[in-house]
Amino acid sequence: MASQEIVKLERDTLAVAVPSGQKVMIGEGSQVALMQALGGSFTVTAQGRMFRISGEDADALGKTPPPPPQLPENASDEDVEQLVWEQMRTCYDPEIPINIVELGLIYSCTVEKELDGSRSVWVEMTLTAPGCGMGDTLANDVWQRIMEVPTVEQAGVEMVFDPPWDASRMSEAARLETGMF
């Protein structure tokens, strides 16, 4: 976002404090500054603190949540896997305007087709810092976005710290964006 947008919350809204991960209720009528609106979640500041508001609560900010992902009829396994990766690219660290795939936080993603035609997805991911309080929030974002993919009936997201993350895992575009080239 080029500049901050001041928004008055239209209802009480659950938010997550950044970077602690603590859940906080921000009251209806509170003014927040919208800092980042990427991937369907929102980073705001209020009362001198930074918070993340889920896309499920977009209406409280007067915004529209993104539409659900779609697959073509008779989608192949490759189509499903591609959509899973696209969904993970809609997950952003609330402090960094780069998606978690480009940041190199996804270590592996396995999509398995079950006998009934449904899919199971298993992801290993990490954080830029092991002590980050947003880990559970980011892992839950990944799980939720994967579960939105048609035919996916089961998903698991495991947080791993071996090997430790470092900037070499970032895509070239992410390194350029952050000046870490």
Domains of the chain: 5-61 (2.30.30.40), 77-178 (3.30.300.130)
Q: Are 25 and 52 in contact (CB under 8 A)?
A: no
Quote the pLDDT of residue 129. 87
Quote the pLDDT of residue 3. 65
Give me the count of residues in the chain.
181
Quote the pLDDT of residue 1. 42
Could you report the per-residue pLDDT of 56-67, keeping only the tens digit for each?
Answer: 899 999 998 888
Using CA atoms, how far apart are residues 89 and 100, in angstroms rounded to an integer? 6
Quote the pLDDT of residue 32. 97
Quote the pLDDT of residue 91. 94
| Neighbour-count burial of 9, counting CB atoms closer than 10 A to its CB (0-12 exposed, 13-18 middle, 19+ buried) | buried
Could you report the per-residue pLDDT of 36-47, keeping only the tens digit for each?
Answer: 888 888 999 998
Strands 13-18 and 152-159: unpaired
Quote the pLDDT of residue 131. 85
Which positions of the chain have pLDDT values less than 70? 1-3, 181
Q: What is the pTM of this model?
A: 0.84
Neighbours of 140 (CB within 10 A): 14
Per-residue burial over 74-108, b = 16 or more CB atoms within 10 Å of its CB, e = otherwise: ebeeeebbebbeebbebbbbbebbbbbbbbbbbee
Residue 175 DSSP SS3? helix
Quote the pLDDT of residue 159. 96
